[in-house]
A and B are shown apart, each in its own frame.
Chain A
């Protein structure tokens, strides 16, 4: 049994999920376009802002676009992959979680693989377009290691957002009430990270550094990619931010396991 076998199974789930969503082809197309337009309008708003004022605290539009693109791509990936966690409360209430415990696979893996949401491609496409514009405008195409940091930071960012979705799902093991407060760090999080952290107040920034590590999604690595001085910590912090994202995800998975243990001893 190779180590890649779970990945192959994920691929199988993925293909199956796509096929079942394509049963409702028109709906997928419309929703994807809808997402594209919705997030597109958002960026248009940003563009209008910069067009009127020129810059935001020494930040140019292309620079903010880089952060914006990174945040949106990371969020779109985690939304598509972590969709199962978002709807998890319902799964527990309906008793469908038992079914996952009856299968010889990890529970987080199954929840994750259960549903891949195609329509989130809308946000992904928009994020890619904005990032592409930023990369060309800033001349980052041949930036070598900084381009590598950009790529890994996006993956790390997806880890952070996925971790948040997992945390939200984990609460379902203790309460049947859906905790909307989590939306403030998931959806609120992606809105917040679309702008440079430096425009926010200190207290707010601390929360997004130490409590929810959102600054590592794009701001900290973004500063290094843009060649700006690091404002949050030592210069090398940017280069380990993908690892911080990964560590956060692993921590969330630990809590998830704790939740599963609680569920199995209480029967919820």
Chain B
């Protein structure tokens, strides 16, 4: 049976609309306009144990509402949701004992305490047996390389150090399911790589199911076999990265370096940019095969170098988000 089952989940929020200016604020005390926001408008998906899934979408699409429902914080208006056979909001305490959650923007560590003391408090909160705790902590500390900062108060840590400690904190009770919300936000390149490497190993070696929400498409490309895109409360696309590319458009790019700076026009391809001898063409491989296109170009012009690319995921998602904004509900 699937580890996570989500069926037709709905959640509406009533939001008070703010009026502008001081006068507006005063009027707002007496009269308020309310607006209904459909944060989740019939979301369904299921996840098998051991999957590593990217959950993406523009701001306000319903990402964090989904995560909040799945982690037992929020009660949905309608729909079914089961995680490892439990209904998160009905069996909150039992449920949260088996999941881990990392919020990139927020720490769960105690600000004024050395890192290790936060860990010990969490050990007691989650009722982790000392005999399990010690080897687990040692392993996590080694994997995330935080042994030198265990005795440092959290407020003195850098963002990257704090994030690594937060990941350890979320795994001390060995959850089978881990939610990561923007785990690499604000990290420098090497810290990002370290966190990604750890997540991949966690998923591969321990079989921990991971749901990752992020704006960093490199995270998705580096980690996720499957991507779920949510937009305006609905699942927009669910599949592997290739499926996502296909959903948005199968366009590919051909970058050419010409011997001579000459005008170029090819049937079935459009010029995206042109900089001297360097030309970028966009084409649809369904209509015109890559080989055929190259043949047509070399017929007309001597080519020094060429490169074929799939359109980068950033553009796919940007396009997705643009489409979403063009026809607002």
Contact = CB atoms under 8 A, between A and B. Distances in A.
A227 interface: no
B96 to A, nearest CB: 5
Interface in A23-52: 23
Nearest to B114: A19
B96 A101 contact: yes
B96 A104 contact: yes
A20 B73 contact: no
A21 to B, nearest CB: 8
Interface string A226-268: 0000000000000000000000000000000000010011110
Interface string A87-121: 00000000110110111111000000000000000
Contacts of A9: 124-125
A55 interface: no
Contacts of B39: 267
B65 interface: yes
B72 interface: yes
A264 B75 contact: yes
A64 to B, nearest CB: 41
Interface residues of B, number: 35
B121 A101 contact: no
B127 interface: yes
A16 B117 contact: yes
B213 interface: no
B71 interface: yes
B153 interface: yes
Interface stretch (B17-25, B41-49, B86-94, B303-311): B86-94
Given A99-B106, A99-B108, A104 B126 contact: yes
Given A12-B124, A19-B113, A267 B13 contact: yes
B316 to A, nearest CB: 30
A133 interface: no
A4 interface: no
A181 interface: no
A23 B92 CA distance: 35
Contacts of A261: 75
Contacts of B125: 9, 103-105
B193 interface: no
B117 A23 contact: no
Contacts of B120: 12
Contacts of B74: 264-265, 267
A98 B13 CA distance: 17
Contacts of B65: 267
A52 to B, nearest CB: 47
Contacts of A20: 110-113
B293 to A, nearest CB: 51
A13 interface: yes
A1 interface: yes
B2 interface: no
Contacts of B38: none
A105 B93 contact: yes
B68 interface: yes
Contacts of A266: 13-14
Nearest to A95: B106
Given A12-B120, A23-B153, 13 more contacts: A16-B117, A20-B110, A23-B112, A98-B68, A101-B72, A102-B72, A103-B125, A264-B74, A265-B74, A265-B77, A266-B13, A266-B14, A267-B68
Q: What 4 A-B pairs have minimum CB-CB distances, sorted nearest first? A: A20-B112, A104-B97, A265-B75, A101-B73
24 contacts: A9-B124, A9-B125, A12-B121, A16-B113, A19-B117, A20-B110, A20-B113, A23-B112, A95-B106, A99-B106, A99-B108, A101-B72, A103-B125, A104-B93, A104-B94, A104-B125, A105-B125, A106-B93, A264-B75, A264-B89, A265-B74, A265-B75, A265-B77, A267-B13
